[in-house]
Amino acid sequence: MQQIRPFELDPRRRQKLGVLHPLFAFFIPVIVFLFAYAGVRIFPFGEKQILTVDLFHQYAPFLQELRHKLTSGESLLFSWSGGLGVNFYPLFAYYLASPFNLILLLFPASFLAEGILFISVLKIGLCGFTAYFFLRKGKALAKTTALIFALPYALSAFIVAYSWNIMWLDVILLLPLLAYTAILIIQEGKIVPYIIVLSLSIIFNYYIAFFACIFIALYFPVLLIEFLPEKGWQRPKDYLQKLGLFAASSLLSGFLSFFIIWPTYLSLKITSAAGDQFPKPWDFKHSFLDLIPRLFFGSKPNIRHGLPNIYLGVIVLLLVPLFFLSKRIPKRNKFAYGALVGIIALSFNVNALDFIWHGFHYPNQIPYRYAFVFVFLLMVMAAEAWEAFSWTRDGAAIKVFLGLVLLISCMRSFGAFEIAFWPLIISFALLLIYLAILLSSWRHAGRKEVLSALLFMFICFELGLSTFLGISEISKNEYYGLRDGFSYGSGPQEIRAAVKELQAKHPGSLVRTEIRPKKSVNDPMLYSLNGFSIFSSSFSHEPIKLMGKLGYPVNGVNSFEFSDSTIPMNDLIGLNYIINRDVESKLRSAAVPSFAGDEIMVHENHGAFPFAFSCPKTVSEFEAGSESPFINQSDLFQALFSTNQLFEPVKLKVQQVQSPDSKADEQSAATLNEASYYLSDYEDGGQVLKLNSATDYTEANLELEAEADGYYYLYYKSSQLQVKNCYFTESDDQYAEYQLASSRRNDMLDLGQVSKGQKIKIRFTFGGDLDSGSIMIFPVRFIAENYEPVRAKIEANNFEWLKFSANKLEFKLTAKEDSYAFLSTCYEPGWQIEVDGKRVQPTALDSCFLLVPITSGQQIISLKFVPAGLSQAALVSLAALILLIVIAVLEFLSEKRKRAAEDYYYPELDYADEAADEAIAYADSYLDDLAEMAELEAQEEASSDFDLSDEDNGLAPKLNPRQELLESIAAAEGGGQNLEDFINSERIQAITIKRRRKND
């Protein structure tokens, strides 16, 4: 029940936090998650690690790169560990800006996953703590109530489903503090705490902070209605003043975080996320009733697609409706909260609103990323309803329960309810238990603490079980990988040692290295080597397009990676070394063995081009336009070096296409007849394999017969059929000798050096849902003699490193004529380049490779990278910081003067004129409540008036439970006065202070 507090002018923050309750709010979510992880055998409870989904492929490698930079003192502005060099600042801003990441410095590189686990559960625990803080200090709820309803926030389905999205958790844990500091603006006019919390939210993760900003802008008017007294409706200037403070504070927060926002915005403009069109027409995506099952126990975590994760305990299904039925909660509060709940629920359903919430962008999987604000809102309403329930008729809870039973029965009868039978039974069993506790709290208000403890135990049980099931579901569908072989184990240790050895062998220069086969696309960052592969949402889109046209595996959105490649492209990107995880396998044409460990073999490419070389001015006109990557590569080298074509097409023959019923049951293999497939010629020397009847294990066996000696390559591309694997062999042996790819839409196979007349057998295996489709195949022979003149031209450049660091480069280069210097890195707007001390403007080759204009002769080229807009944004943030310091000092001095000027009844309160008015309004409100209670008591006299007294074992009058509680509050806080006298004394106190201020 809501505590009586007419005597406090800022009552919502008067409650003390306590000691045990906030500790429970922190440690219970931590313990629950650790038990859930133990259930799926996460280390130290098993052999697995917490890394899954993008935490495995992106965040963990990025965190390792951050750790490497912090320990080595490298610049945070640029990184060579991926993408041929990448603007690290927007990557840092989105993935890595959390100060919690500094904890990784305490963990060795081999224990990266364990450091991430520690950070993850720490943040989840803090979600519980900050939620408790808001409910206790912001809402002035009882300690047990604040604890009970803080747990659902930290253990909600949203947290469980996206526990691997650790950079999101910072803003989620700060959201309750953001709401609390918004209350401080309303009650005291203090803006500094709000500015600090909002600024930190944006700095820690600007993306999720965008959702928090939208929410707090919608929530602030609700808080205004809730916390300003009713007289404010007659004094709109009070609302306008607070809204003005809020708007100004939010603007200043934006300026404080401008050093993050502006450079990142400029960088995001050239990513795949830019340019999404506003949805037309506006449309509903599903039924509003579809959200209801997402609030029930057993709703599975939706990660890649599906409805929002909004489950936070089934008790909200009872309490949120009771929030609107409670007579204790003012109607204006019900209207305000109801409107906000409706807006967010509508956003889940209306495509245009969902688009706006996601920053005017269609997210790549992971829908409804803002659902955590809905969870927060439901938590607050449920907690308020529980406190106020003693003032609500007990029949209301029964009606809500019966209404839920009727609604779910109707939905199940129409097949519109997705929860399975047993989770539904558990949900209603829990609802019955919660209903019984609610009814008991109404009839026995004096036992509220005991009933709260009982409610606490059942909610802990429910949330603990739901978290365990949710983590188990993630383990089953997304998979928590094995710990050994990623950052821990002898293999990774050998790779890190090899990287150090290679860097020591080539001090002061760029040593480009790749790893195959990969554990993650971002292996170069995972092992802190200067690599080619990249998978990052903040990476420019144009280089990805070109790399796909040149034959590298891409996802078309935000990644390209090194797989098999041709000799010319390995040389062009300056690939010096390849670390092969499989000691026994051989790299056919990429490089030669250099040294080996127990689990790795390092191959060196002696033909790798230097970082920069001169090329004709006409190279800027090059555009890759063919479906064949080999034609695009030939055209690129022709533009760079005036070479002849480097590849000639060859033809494949189909040996057999078969579809086993089971991959393990070869006897069931059925050879498809020629009507079920065909192989036809395609433009640019390619061929198309069309399948008209495929199963999940369809195999296509092809054959290539070499017509001349040379290196042979094959590229495939499929937009329909899913290529599960591709194998080839140089003899009649089984196909398992070389396995190149897994589930890629496009990839290249280095078939190695083949003699004339030799036959290469190639097998594709297809899977997926489609039973028909086609795949484009481009087999070629490399014409080595046409490539020989390139070497001589490269040597003539006399390239020499003078300085190499993360974001500062300097080298010598010789050119025979005015030309461009081709640099094997991607164009970024932040490059500042000087040639012999003169500033020059770079350009890009096909919007990808960096080109620097140079003149004939030897020259010194210097490059410095500063993200576009960072310098100007830093000045804005610095000015905003100075302004914030001035405001903070002024607020402190003002508070100090007020405290010195008056003798406070409560020294910590600031009794201004409006504050005194507020106290009077509170007192009058509670006097009205007493009159209302008197009427209720008269109506209840017909009920049982006597009860057994434990004190004298006789018959004694039974006090009305509400009056009993009010009297106990008055006795505790009023020094033994009766309640009405106590309230009147506080009213008189406030009037006296108001008159004193008026006389002053």
How far apart are alpha carbons 540 and 550 in whole angstroms? 17
For residue 362 the two structure tokens come to 């269609």
Q: If you write DSSP's letter for every residue of 153-215 in order, what string do you get?
A: HHTSHHHHHTTT-GGGHHHHHHHHHHHHHHHHHHHH---HHHHHHHHHHHHH-HHHHHHHHHH
Q: Quick one: pLDDT band at residue 9, thresholds 50, 70, 90?
A: very low
Mean pLDDT along residues 419-448 = 83
φ and ψ of 542, to 5 deg: -60, -45
Mean pLDDT along residues 171-182 = 98
* Strand spans (E) along 402-556: 512-516, 534-535
Low-confidence winner among 157-171, 507-521, 885-899, 932-946 (lowest mean pLDDT): 932-946
Mean pLDDT along residues 310-337 = 93
Element of type H or E holding 63: helix 60-72
- pLDDT at position 904 is 44
- pLDDT at position 982 is 53
Low-confidence winner among 117-126, 202-211, 387-396 (lowest mean pLDDT): 387-396
Mean pLDDT along residues 399-413 = 88
Q: If you write DSSP's letter for every residue of 805-852 in order, what string do you get?
A: -SSEEEEEEEESSSEEEEEEEE--TTEEEEETTEEE--EEETTTEEEE
Low-confidence winner among 557-561, 605-609, 712-716, 923-927 (lowest mean pLDDT): 923-927
Give the closest residue to 645 by CA, choosing from 630, 659, 663, 655.
630
Residue that wins the pLDDT comparison between 815 and 737: 815
Amino acid at 935: E
pLDDT over 70, % of the chain: 81
pLDDT surpassing 80 at residue 415:
no
Low-confidence winner among 340-354, 359-373, 792-806, 900-914 (lowest mean pLDDT): 900-914
- pLDDT at position 657 is 79
SS3 letters for 553-585?
CECCCCEECCCCCCHHHHHHCCEEEEEECCCCC
How far apart are alpha carbons 513 and 496 in whole angstroms? 12
Amino acid at 463: L
Q: Which residues contact 27 (CB under 8 A, 6 or more apart)?
A: 125
How far apart are alpha carbons 626 and 778 in whole angstroms? 12
Q: Quick one: pLDDT band at residue 675, thresholds 50, 70, 90?
A: low
How far apart are alpha carbons 982 and 805 in whole angstroms? 72
Residue that wins the pLDDT comparison between 155 and 912: 155
pLDDT surpassing 70 at residue 815:
yes
Give the closest residue to 779 by CA, choosing from 698, 699, 700, 681.
681
- pLDDT at position 15 is 64
- pLDDT at position 639 is 95
Low-confidence winner among 159-168, 341-350, 663-672, 896-905 (lowest mean pLDDT): 663-672
Mean pLDDT along residues 239-247 = 92
Which residues, listed in sequence order, are joined to residue 613 by a DSSP beta bridge?
822
Residue that wins the pLDDT comparison between 446 and 407: 407
Segment 739-758, tens digit of pLDDT:
554 456 788 888 888 889 88
pLDDT surpassing 50 at residue 574:
yes
Please, what is the Cα angle at 526 between 524 and 530, to 5 degrees? 30
Give the closest residue to 536 by CA, choosing from 32, 89, 985.
89
Please, what is the Cα angle at 11 between 7 and 15, to 5 degrees? 115
pTM comes to: 0.86
pLDDT over 90, % of the chain: 57
Mean pLDDT along residues 58-72 = 95
For residue 952 the two structure tokens come to 């004298």
Mean pLDDT along residues 716-734 = 71
Amino acid at 570: N
Residue that wins the pLDDT comparison between 85 and 273: 85
Q: Quick one: pLDDT band at residue 585, thresholds 50, 70, 90?
A: low
Give the closest residue to 613 by CA, choosing from 847, 819, 810.
819
* Strand spans (E) along 38-105: 78-79, 86-87
Q: Quick one: pLDDT band at residue 500, thresholds 50, 70, 90?
A: very high
pLDDT surpassing 80 at residue 965:
no
pLDDT surpassing 60 at residue 940:
no
Low-confidence winner among 57-71, 432-446, 618-632 (lowest mean pLDDT): 432-446
How far apart are alpha carbons 443 and 445 in whole angstroms? 6
Q: Quickly count: other Cβ atoms within 10 Å of residue 971's Cβ.
A: 14
Mean pLDDT along residues 437-454 = 75
Mean pLDDT along residues 151-179 = 97
| Helix, strand, or coil (residue 956) | strand
Q: Which residues contact 610 (CB under 8 A, 6 or more apart)?
A: 574, 794, 797, 799
Q: Which residues contact 769 (CB under 8 A, 6 or more apart)?
A: none
- pLDDT at position 773 is 79
Q: Which residues contact 410 (CB under 8 A, 6 or more apart)?
A: none
Low-confidence winner among 245-249, 294-298, 907-911 (lowest mean pLDDT): 907-911
Taking all residues of the chain, what is their mean pLDDT, rounded to a whole number? 84
pLDDT surpassing 70 at residue 943:
no
Which residues, listed in sequence order, are joined to residue 561 by a DSSP beta bridge?
none
- Cα dihedral sign, 349-353-355-359: negative
How far apart are alpha carbons 866 and 874 in whole angstroms? 12
Segment 252-295, tens digit of pLDDT:
999 999 999 999 999 988 887 666 788 888 888 888 888 999 99
Q: If you write DSSP's letter for every residue of 609-640 in order, what string do you get?
A: PPSEEEE-GGGGG-----S-HHHHHHHHHHHH
Q: Quick check: 94 and 205 in contact, CB under 8 A? A: yes
Segment 661-671, tens digit of pLDDT:
544 444 434 45
Does the N-terminal peptide bond of residue 176 adopt cis geometry, omega within 30 degrees of 0? no
N-term to C-term CA, the chain: 40
Q: Which residues contact 329 (CB under 8 A, 6 or more apart)?
A: 323, 384, 385, 388
Contacts of the segment 942-951: beta carbons below 8 A, 24+ positions apart: none
Mean pLDDT along residues 68-86 = 94
Element of type H or E holding 450: helix 448-477
How far apart are alpha carbons 49 and 37 in whole angstroms? 9
| Helix, strand, or coil (residue 295) | helix
Segment 758-788, tens digit of pLDDT:
888 888 887 766 567 788 999 999 999 999 9
Contacts of the segment 519-522: beta carbons below 8 A, 24+ positions apart: 519/485, 519/486, 520/56, 520/57, 520/58, 520/60, 520/61, 520/486, 521/57, 521/58, 521/559, 521/561, 522/57, 522/58, 522/61, 522/62, 522/82
Mean pLDDT along residues 67-80 = 95
How far apart are alpha carbons 29 and 17 in whole angstroms? 18
- pLDDT at position 453 is 87
- pLDDT at position 868 is 94
pLDDT surpassing 70 at residue 103:
yes
Mean pLDDT along residues 695-700 = 72
- pLDDT at position 958 is 39
* Strand spans (E) along 659-737: 677-681, 687-691, 698-705, 710-717, 722-729
Q: Quick check: 297 and 311 in contact, CB under 8 A? A: yes
pLDDT surpassing 70 at residue 459:
yes
- pLDDT at position 463 is 97
For helices 315-325 and 394-413, angle between their N-to-C axes, nearest 10 degrees: 130
